[in-house]
C-alpha cells in the first residue's frame, strides 16, 4: 500500500508542488493540461475512447474515459478521464483525472488521507467537503474531496464511498482541471442548474 502511494504521488509530479501555482505543472500518467492527446494516441484511437456524449450537456467539452491495460498501460491508475473540446483538431487537454479502485473501504480512506496530508504540506489553504452523489438515489453514498484552487485551475483528491445500492466500486481520484472545466462542471455540464 505504501509503495502504491509513493508511486501515485511521484506520478502526480508531487516534486513540483512546492513551487507550482499553475495547473499545467502537474502530470497524471505523464499527461498535463495543455498537452495534446495526439502526443499519446492516434486520432483513430481517440475516436474509439468511451465518452459521455449520450448524456445531457452543451458539449463544450468531451469527457473521454480510458482504462489501464486497454487503451493505455498505466503505472498507478485503474482508469483516467480526459476532457478536451470536441471540435479541437489538436485534442488539447483541459482536465486530467486518474482513478484507483480500492479493495476495501479502509484502503480508500487511508489512500485519500495520505494524499490529502501530503497536499496540505504545500497547500494549507485547501478545502475539504462531503457531498451525496446524485448517482445514488438512496442518498447512502458519500463523496469526500479536498480541493485546492490555483490561479488557472484546481486540484482535487476525491474519495468515492459508494453504497451497496449502486454498481460502482469505491475509488480515489486525483483530478487537475482548468477553471473553465470547473465552471462547466458546476454549471451542470453547461446546461445550468435544475
C-alpha 122/C-alpha 19 separation (Å) is: 9
HSE toward the beta carbon, residue 35, CA cutoff 13 A: 21
Query: What predicted TM-score, i.e. pTM, was given to this entire model?
Result: 0.85
Q: Where are the alpha helices (DSSP H) in 12-139?
A: 43-47, 105-122
Give the per-residue SS3 of 139-159: CCCEEEEEEEEECCEEEEEEE
Q: Over the stretch 30-41, which tens digit does the pLDDT of each residue have?
A: 999 999 999 999
Instruction: State the DSSP string of 102-116.
Output: -SSHHHHHHHHHHHH
Q: Over the stretch 64-119, which tens digit does the pLDDT of each residue have?
A: 999 999 999 999 899 999 999 999 999 999 999 999 999 999 999 999 999 999 88
At 177, which helix (H) or strand (E)? strand 171-178
C-alpha cell at 11: 506520478
Q: Are 60 and 84 in contact (CB under 8 A)?
A: no
Q: Does pLDDT of 191 surpass 60? A: yes
Amino acid at each position: 500500500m505504501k509503495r502504491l502511494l509513493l508511486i501515485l504521488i511521484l506520478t502526480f509530479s508531487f516534486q513540483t508542488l512546492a513551487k507550482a501555482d499553475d495547473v499545467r505543472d502537474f502530470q497524471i500518467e505523464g499527461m498535463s493540461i495543455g498537452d495534446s492527446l495526439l502526443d499519446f494516441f492516434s486520432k483513430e484511437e481517440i475516436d474509439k475512447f468511451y465518452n459521455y456524449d449520450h448524456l445531457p450537456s452543451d458539449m463544450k467539452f468531451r469527457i473521454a474515459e480510458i482504462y489501464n491495460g486497454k487503451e493505455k498501460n498505466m503505472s498507478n491508475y485503474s482508469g483516467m478521464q480526459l476532457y478536451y473540446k470536441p471540435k479541437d483538431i489538436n485534442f488539447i487537454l483541459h482536465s486530467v483525472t486518474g482513478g484507483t479502485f480500492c479493495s476495501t473501504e479502509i484502503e480508500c480512506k487511508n489512500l485519500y488521507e495520505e494524499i490529502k496530508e501530503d497536499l496540505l504540506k504545500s497547500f494549507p489553504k485547501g478545502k475539504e467537503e462531503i457531498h451525496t452523489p446524485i448517482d445514488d438515489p438512496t442518498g447512502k453514498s458519500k463523496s469526500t474531496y479536498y480541493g485546492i484552487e490555483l490561479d488557472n485551475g484546481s486540484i482535487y483528491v476525491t474519495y468515492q464511498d459508494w453504497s451497496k445500492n449502486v454498481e460502482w466500486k469505491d475509488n480515489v481520484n486525483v483530478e487537475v482541471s482548468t477553471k473553465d472545466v470547473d465552471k462547466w462542471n458546476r454549471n451542470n455540464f453547461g446546461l445550468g442548474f435544475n
